[in-house]
Amino acid sequence: MSTTVIKTSDLPQAFLEVHPHNLYLYCKAYAAGLRANTAQTKNRSAVSGGGKKPWAQKGGGRARAGSTRSPIFVGGGVAFGPSTNKNYNQKVNKKQKRLALMHAIAEMAANEKLFVVDSIAIESGKTKDALAFVNGLEQRDVLVVKEMIDDKTFLAFRNLQNAYLIEANELNAYLAAAYHSIVIEKAVFDKLTKEA
């Protein structure tokens, strides 16, 4: 597999004119969408116990109290716990998504971390062959972008810690920015640059 290192001079001018803020907004929205929103506490109605009025309303010299499960008591409910129905999603329109990806690709090219190969295929399906391919690039970790993933190549890459194999339609700005370098098939790269 012949590998070509892409530089900024190999990219269309449109890639180099994108403002980096587009990438920031996309990554922020992507990370927000990953939030589980499972933080939960019990308010005074959800805490068990506290059925009996702790002391008489009047005559004790203490403040009136109706339940020991009030937030002011030890063992009481939480007054202002996290909201369990909050929506963290942030809107990013299609144009901004495309611009974010273009900037992420341009950044990779500027650092000479973008590699284009004719075809990515591990016919043997063996992890050691995929590892040899990745190690040959001499990069810390690699995002491998293939037009269509075949079964053998999927098996070869799936257990590698320093490589992540995706199909062309899964490529997004967050993944492109998260990895140290990108290896992309020529057909996918040509389509990506032609759309710009």
- CATH code of the domain containing 162: 3.40.1370.10
Residue 159 phi, psi dihedral angles, 5° rounding:
-100, 5
- Residue 25: per-residue pLDDT: 95
Residue 102 CB-density burial (10 A; 0-12 exposed, 13-18 middle, 19+ buried): buried
Q: What is the pLDDT of residue 179?
A: 94
Rounded CA gap, 54 and 68, in Å? 6
Query: Residue 189 CB: number of other CB atoms within 10 A?
Result: 22
Is 114 domain-assigned?
Answer: yes
Q: Is residue 60 part of a domain?
A: no
The pLDDT value given to residue 84: 78
Tell me whether residue 74 is in a domain.
Answer: no
What's this model's pTM, rounded to 2 decimal places? Answer: 0.79
Distance CA 144, CA 115 (A): 10
Q: Is 79 part of any domain? A: no
Q: Look at residue 65 in the predicted model and tell me its pLDDT.
A: 93
Query: In this predicted structure, what is the pLDDT of residue 115?
Result: 92
Q: Is residue 36 one of the residues assigned to a domain?
A: no
Answer yes or no: is 59 within a domain.
no
d(CA 102, CA 172): 10
Number of folded domains that form the chain = 1
Closest CA to 31 of 80, 89, 73, 82: 89
Structure tokens at 26: 């996309």
pLDDT of residue 182: 94
Which residue range is the domain that position 140 belongs to?
3-13+92-195
> Residue 10: its pLDDT value, please?
80
Q: Which two tokens stand for residue 45?
A: 């109605």
With a cut of 50, which residues of the chain have pLDDT below it?
none
The one-letter amino acid code at 175 reads L
Residue 78 falls inside a structural domain: no
Report if residue 24 sits inside a domain.
no
How high is the pLDDT of residue 8? 80
